Structure formats: structure tokens, C-alpha cells
Amino acid sequence: MTETPARSRLGAFVNLLFGYDGRIGRLYFLLGFLAFVGIIGFLSGIAEDVTAGTGDIGRYVAFAFIVGTGVWMHSAVVIKRLHDRDKGAGWYLVYGAAPFGFFILAIYFWTVRAIEIASLLFVLSFGGLIWAIVELGFLRGTRGPNRFGSKY
């Protein structure tokens, strides 16, 4: 049995976090999500030191970079997991963006004292999050190859 070269493992890791092709199972989804959280945490932790002395513009650039990188990694991992469930990338709007969007809207309506609307949006947000966790994290993907290829 031959050892996988380090360059190949690094390429697979980068593809896991930034590539949109193919599909991944539950374990790689979990590992990709943990890597996403760790990288965003690390970038957020060093952002203040890196932008010291740059004023507000440096903070805005760092914020945009961190959010952009986070959205890219999150969408890549979720879309590949959706491919394993034989769903197209458009479903990312339902599984990845909608729960977060409902949560942001709920906070807005809460601040303007529209409590009934905010409460409904909070329920939709948490319900969508639980649905996404179950669908992506616990349910088995398609057995064998599907229209998105084979698992890796």
C-alpha cells in the first residue's frame, strides 16, 4: 500500500473547503464544518492585531475578507453534502442561507418591537437549522454514484 503524498492531501483539504464539484459523506461534512469554524475563529482572533493602526478601513476590509471566506467555505461544504443527498446547489438557499436570513430578520423585527413577527421568524430560523442539521448531518447520502459523481 502506498502512502498518499502530502501535496495530494493538502489539495483534497483545499478542495473540501473551497471546491464545489463532487460530493461528500457525513464524516467529511463534519470535518469540513469543523475546519470552517476553526479557520473563521482563527481569522477573527487575529483580525484586531493584523488591522492595528489601519483605522476603520482596515477593520472593514478584514470583516469583508472573513465573511467572504466564511461564506465560500460554508457554501462549498454544504453544497457538496447536498450533492451527496442528490440535491442541486440551489438548495443551498434553503439549507444554508434561509435559517440565517430568518434569524437576522427576527432580530430586526425584535428591535422594532414587532414581537409576533419576530417570534415567528425565530421559530422558522431554528426549525430550518434543525432540519438542515438532520438532513445534512445525519441522513445517509445516495448509495453509489449519482448525477454529481462518486463520494471521496
| Mean pLDDT per 10-residue segment, the chain (152 residues) | 69 95 96 97 95 92 96 97 96 95 97 96 97 96 92 72
Q: Is residue 54 part of a domain?
A: yes
Instruction: State which amino acid sits at residue 2.
Output: T
Q: What are phi and psi of 5, to 5 degrees?
A: -60, 150
Given a contact cutoff of 8 angstroms between Cβ atoms, the answer to whether 29 and 81 are in contact is: yes
Q: Is residue 148 part of a domain?
A: no
Residues pairing with 151 in the sheet: 23
- Count of domains observed in the chain: 1
Q: Is residue 29 part of a domain?
A: yes
Domain range holding 130? 8-137
* Global confidence as pTM: 0.88
Contacts of residue 108, defined as CB under 8 A and 6 or more positions apart, other chains included, come to 118
Q: Is residue 150 part of a domain?
A: no
Q: Is residue 2 part of a domain?
A: no
Q: Is residue 127 part of a domain?
A: yes
